[in-house]
Amino acid sequence: MLVLNDIFKDIDELEDLRLDLILVEDVRPILFTCLDESKNIYLGLCSFANNERILWHITKTNYDVLIALLSDEITIYDAFKAGSKNKYMITYTELGVDCKKLTFDLLKEEYLPVKGEYMEVEDGEYDCELAEFKKRNSVKCYTATLNFYTETKTVLVRSMSHLKGLTESRWNFDKTSNHKEFRDYGRIKTSKI
């Protein structure tokens, strides 16, 4: 039986992607979220399926977009357009899996949601999903201790990209403390705010 997680395993850049929540379902997930190992969230849609191929489009996104989508604040089309500049177009055929990275303007309209249409959420319909997304989206601040030769400073850090921005300047991490959130950057002294 065809399983989305098995499809992702065959794609170099997406091999650790896993199906997260199914937002709309037909005989297969039509609109869904995925998570990678770094807990980045993605929005996926099944654009086409016939006896020859199945086509999915996936985009890295954020919880603000997903919450707006399930709150009918943005259209389904705009929710997919938002997020990362590059979108993944995944094709499955009998020969295997193919994945292309394309900017949104290169995607064919016929494979995207209808423009101008909202989810039209009924009362309480997506309460569980919204609660989960809001929980995941709650702002956590960490203090990171950075050093440059004899100078040391402590800064507030909200995300890995924020941290990366800091360390691309002259500052390095103080390697004396530990936090798993930023494991790729070694050890930082943290306290949750």
Partner 1 sequence: MCKKFPAYFQSVSSKYNIELPPLDAVNQPPVEVYRACPTQKIEKASFLNSYEEHNFETVVGEEDRPSSYSLSVYSKVSGVRRFTKITRVYPHPCLIAKGCLESCMGKWKFSPRSSHIDFWQYENVPVWEYFNECEEGELNVGVK
Q: How far apart are CA 79 and CA 47, in angstroms?
A: 15
Residues 50-79 contacting partner 1, CB under 8 A: 50-54, 72, 76
Backbone angles phi, psi at 7, to 5 degrees: -65, -45
Q: Find the shortest distance in angstroms from Cβ 54 to partner 1.
A: 6
Contact present, 99 and 90 (Cβ < 8 Å): yes
Reading phi first (left if > 0) and then psi (alpha if -120 to 50, else beta), residue 39 is in left
Q: In the structure encoding, which two tokens stand for residue 73, read together? A: 């604040």
Among 13, 15, 117, 127, binds partner 1 (CB under 8 A): 117
Number of Cα atoms under 13 Å in the Cβ half of residue 141: 5
Q: Find the shortest distance in angstroms from Cβ 44 to partner 1.
A: 11
Q: Find the shortest distance in angstroms from Cβ 2 to partner 1.
A: 4
Contact letters for partner 1, residues 16-55 (x by CB under 8 A): ------x-xxxxx-xx-------------xxxxxxxxxx-
Number of Cα atoms under 13 Å in the Cβ half of residue 105: 0
Among 5, 38, 93, 176, binds partner 1 (CB under 8 A): 93
127: contact with partner 1 by CB under 8 A: no
Q: Which is nearer to partner 1, 64 or 72 (CB)?
A: 72
Q: How far apart are CA 189 and CA 173, in angstroms?
A: 9
Q: Which is nearer to partner 1, 53 or 164 (CB)?
A: 53
Contact present, 46 and 55 (Cβ < 8 Å): yes
Q: Find the shortest distance in angstroms from Cβ 52 to partner 1.
A: 6
Contact letters for partner 1, residues 151-170 (x by CB under 8 A): --------------------
Q: How far apart are CA 176 and CA 50, in angstroms?
A: 56
Q: Beta partners for 48?
A: 55
Chain contacts with partner 1 (rule: CB under 8 A): 1-2, 22, 24-28, 30-31, 45-54, 72, 76, 92-94, 110-114, 117, 119-123, 125
